[in-house]
Amino acid sequence: MLPYGRQSISEQDIENVVRVLRSDFLTSGPEVEKFEVEFAEMVGARHAVAVCNATAALHLAMRVLGVGRGDRVITSPNTFLASANAAIYVGATPDFSDIDGESYNLSADLLEENWLPDTKAVVAVDYAGLPCNMPEIARVARSRGAYVIEDACHGTGGGFIAGEREWKLGGHPWADITTFSFHPVKTMTTGEGGVLVTDNEEWAKQARLLRSHGITRDSADFVGFTDAGDQTNDDLPSGLNEIGPWCYEMQELGYNYRITDLQCALGRSQLARLPEFIQRRRQIVARYNEAFSDLNWLTPPPRPELSQELVSWHLYTVLIDFGKIGKTRSEVMQELRSLGVGSQVLYIPVHLQPYYRTTYGYGVGKCPVAEGFYLKALSLPLFPEMTAGDVEHVIESVCGLG
């Protein structure tokens, strides 16, 4: 059975993890920092902060940007729940702006048309790995005083062309903070894991603090355990404000969002293989596109004119006109499954989830393009270890549906 996505773990990956298992640090050791430096370098950002998963990275992005109660956060309905849930964690109101029918990403035009003044941040999601129109989204958001968070969980290692040069996701100037996921189904994996990248030193520092309970051990940042008034009090036991090597201060409410050295060893090992993963994914996408181009009941994924060669594809999602082939989506998925071909539906529009409908009163018709996309979408197997035979088998199975 071919799943829609799957990790690739080499013997070298395993060796690299085992090496750390035999070392002094299992968590928060040298591998974390090395992974952060290498990842930041790969995307072309100043800072990378690695955390236990990308949901945590999105939550920290909200925290360090000061998003909170009374703020609105707009994201795409065509995404995994985490892009929107992160806003709720900080007390903000999640909201959705529709996708466009070409890229299946946030439409910058609709974002501008439906803008509400309490919007503090936009979370732009690069669906399937295809980059959003970041320059336009940033123009709309920033000219209205809002931040731009890019949820690039699908697009690790990918990029686009703008202003006649190439940019990597995470390394361009049109996002304030970018997040990536290393869940096994994504382009590279650490088991669970995620990272946020930014050029802003203060935000990176704050994210590191919040990643580990808001604890600082840097005495230069200490404010002390008693206030100035207390210190003149003769009854105060001496030594309460003594600074020593045991000291740490909690100045903010943080979390345990740490990632382990084991995971970062795997991350470094996978990062070295990332170009090869992306290359293989592109080859498979190109072969699928060619094979499916003549089917009048199937629409292959969009092909960006300029940036085609730079996309890191996470998903291969086609739109199927189920009416034309006289089968329901369930029947199609069942038929494919019986041929050993897995498929998945990504995504149910987030605003239609029962929690969002009951809590925020959202409903059908709020984002008609995303709702129409959902009714036709089907993601086919795409992962680097697919053999040429696997790819041809998927093609034959899909073409046989019509």
Tell me which residues touch ligand PLP (CB under 6 A). Answer: 53-55, 79-80, 82-83, 125, 151, 153-154, 181, 183, 194
- Taking the complex as a whole, the smallest distance from the CB of residue 31 to ligand PLP amounts, in Å, to 18
CB of 53 to ligand PLP, least distance (A): 4
Q: Which of residues 81 and 247 has its CB atom nearest to ligand PLP in the complex?
A: 81
> Which C-beta is closer to ligand PLP: that of 53 or that of 397?
53
Given the complex with ligand PLP, which of 271 and 391 has the nearer CB atom? 271
Closest approach, Cβ 110 to ligand PLP, in A, equals 19
- In the complex with ligand PLP, the residue whose CB is nearer, 92 or 153, is 153
Q: How far is the CB of 275 from ligand PLP (least distance, A)?
A: 21
The dihedral through the CA atoms of 303, 101, 163, 117 has a sign that is negative
Residue 80 or 96 with smaller CB distance to ligand PLP: 80
Report, in Å, the least distance between residue 194 CB and ligand PLP: 5
* Residues 144, 229 contacting (CB under 8 angstroms): no
Cα gap 223→239, rounded to integer Å: 15
Query: Of 82 and 336, which CB lies nearer to ligand PLP in the complex structure?
Result: 82
Closest distance between ligand PLP and the C-beta of residue 324, in Å? Answer: 30
What angle separates helix 261-292 from helix 388-399, to the nearest 10 degrees? 50
In the structure encoding, which two tokens stand for residue 28, read together? Answer: 């928060």
